[in-house]
Amino acid sequence: MIHSSPVPDLLDVKGLETRFFTRDGEVHAVDGVSFRLAAGETLGIVGESGCGKSVTALSLMRLIPYPPGKITAGTVMFDGQDVLKMDDDEVRAIRGNNMAMIFQDPMTSLNPVLTISRQITEALELHLKMNRTDARKRCLELLEMVGIPSAKVRMDDYPHQFSGGMRQRVMIAMALSCNPKLILADEPTTALDVTIQAQILELLKKLAKEFGTAFILITHDLGVVAGMTQRIHVMYAGRIVEKADTGELFANPKMPYTWGLLRSIPRLDESRRAKLRPIEGLPPDLINLPVGCCFAARCQYKRDVCTEKEPELKVVPKAKPDHEARCWGTQEGGWLVDVDYRTDTTVMAAVGAAS
């Protein structure tokens, strides 16, 4: 698989911890996240709001506002350098240059008082030391590449003259401007309509293939990552709870939280009108995290051990290599190893009898 290839990792995150110090207490937004990404690989990070997926991306870019936020532990090796140990100038040199970000809301992440061309040429002049004329030429190329019609005229328009989908294209052009090695896309299509979402995803896919850029796609929509990424990490309460290749995650998910997510969404291609099975309860309070597994309170399959000790992210036995889950039930000899979530009635009955 990707990790056994000789290509050295582009990104190696180890034990990343980001906390927010608020009046109510310490919010453990990201709590020990580790993952690796090879050059050109596409990774999806999936989770609900508040699970720490956006904070993870912002931490990688060193964009956490301080105060109240702070990266309290971990290393982020990007291209052989630790981003967390860099001083501000060094970070500024890679941010937007080797590592770029596409934000969720194109309405608020563009500067309303600068023209589109100025906002794109700024990075080109700063990072690639281009002069005005060359930068404008490159800007035009970029806008044409992302499919802005009559780009030559439109490049001197202001953001409010663009529609939401067009603004997101501008954001993508901006992210691509300095040929980054890694693009972090934080819910790039959540603010857009479905037909526009399809346009943008198609564009991202095409560009990633063309330039061999590594992508981290952050989303709450399992449908979006299914067609876009090679690997998926599922996050819950600031932790990665399951890691697998995309095909494997959908064919053979192991962590009960992932099951819950898959079961609770109605699918467009479903043949019958099945009753949805939601995940009962609410995500835990990130200030007072529960003892043991953070999902135990909502888990139908929990046993005593789950509320006593927190499981580690471990390779799932009898699954494809590189499939890891943070669950007592899926570890060697666990009670969920042989369970297929689609046909789990026996386990459901057992749970019912036990309680």
Partner 1 sequence: MTVTARGPVAQGSTASHAPHLLEVTGLTMHFPITQGLVFQRQVGAVRAVDGVDFFVDKGETVGLVGESGCGKSTTGRAILQLYKPTKGAVLFDGTDLTKLGGEAMRKQRRRMQMIFQDPYASLNPRMTVGNIIGEPLEVHELAKGQAKLNRVQELLRVVGLNPYFTNRYPHEFSGGQRQRIGIARSLAVEPDFIVCDEPISALDVSIQAQVINLLEELQSKFNLTYLFIAHDLSVVRHISDRVAVMYLGKIVELADRDELYKRPLHPYSQALLSAVPIPDPAVETKRQRIILTGDVPSPVNPPSGCHFHTRCWKAQAVCSEVDPEFKVHAPRHWAACHFPG
CB neighbour list of residue 300: distance below 8 Å, 6 or more residues apart: 256, 348, 351
Is residue 202 near partner 1 by the rule CB under 8 A? yes
Is residue 2 near partner 1 by the rule CB under 8 A? no
CB neighbour list of residue 326: distance below 8 Å, 6 or more residues apart: 239, 240, 241, 242, 255, 293, 311, 312, 313, 314
Pick between residue 9 and residue 41 the one whose CB is nearest to partner 1: 41
Q: What is the 3-state secondary structure (H, E, C) of the chain?
A: CHHHCCCCEEEEEEEEEEEEEECCEEEEEEEEEEEEEECCCEEEEECCCCCCHHHHHHHHCCCCCCCCEEEEEEEEEECCEEHHHCCHHHHHHHECCCEEEECCCCCCCCCCCCCHHHHHHHHHHHHCCCCHHHHHHHHHHHHHHCCCCCHHHHCCCCHHHCCHHHHHHHHHHHHHCCCCCEEEEECCCCCCCHHHHHHHHHHHHHHHHHHCCEEEEEECCHHHHHHHCCEEEEEECCEEEEEEEHHHHHHCCCCHHHHHHHHHCCCCCCCCCCCCCCCCCCCCCCCCCCCCCCCHHHCCCCCHHHHCCCCCEEECCCCCCCCEEECHHHCCCCCCCCCCHHHCHHHHHHHHHHC
Least distance in angstroms from the C-beta of 120 to partner 1: 21
Pick between residue 2 and residue 86 the one whose CB is nearest to partner 1: 2
Residue in the structure block whose two tokens are 């990007």:
78
Pick between residue 221 and residue 310 the one whose CB is nearest to partner 1: 221
Residue 35, beta-bridge partner list: 13
**Among residues 37, 171, 279, 293, which is the contact residue for partner 1, using CB under 8 A?**
279
Is residue 194 near partner 1 by the rule CB under 8 A? yes
Pick between residue 56 and residue 121 the one whose CB is nearest to partner 1: 56
Interface stretch with partner 1, choices 29-37, 84-92, 216-224, 302-310 (CB under 8 A): 216-224
**Among residues 141, 156, 193, 308, which is the contact residue for partner 1, using CB under 8 A?**
193
| Segment 45 to 64, residues that bind partner 1, using CB under 8 A | 48-49
**Among residues 99, 166, 182, 327, which is the contact residue for partner 1, using CB under 8 A?**
166
Is residue 346 near partner 1 by the rule CB under 8 A? no
Least distance in angstroms from the C-beta of 49 to partner 1: 6
Least distance in angstroms from the C-beta of 13 to partner 1: 24
Is residue 224 near partner 1 by the rule CB under 8 A? yes
**Among residues 155, 222, 306, 316, which is the contact residue for partner 1, using CB under 8 A?**
222
Pick between residue 195 and residue 346 the one whose CB is nearest to partner 1: 195
Is residue 163 near partner 1 by the rule CB under 8 A? yes
**Among residues 197, 213, 330, 331, which is the contact residue for partner 1, using CB under 8 A?**
197
Interface stretch with partner 1, choices 57-65, 106-114, 194-202, 318-326 (CB under 8 A): 194-202
Least distance in angstroms from the C-beta of 169 to partner 1: 11
Least distance in angstroms from the C-beta of 164 to partner 1: 8
* Sign, Cα dihedral of 221, 205, 56, 117: negative
| Segment 249 to 278, residues that bind partner 1, using CB under 8 A | 250-251, 260-270, 273, 275-278
Pick between residue 181 and residue 231 the one whose CB is nearest to partner 1: 231
Residues that bind partner 1 (CB under 8 A): 48-49, 149, 163, 165-166, 193-199, 201-202, 220-224, 226-227, 246-247, 250-251, 260-270, 273, 275-280, 282
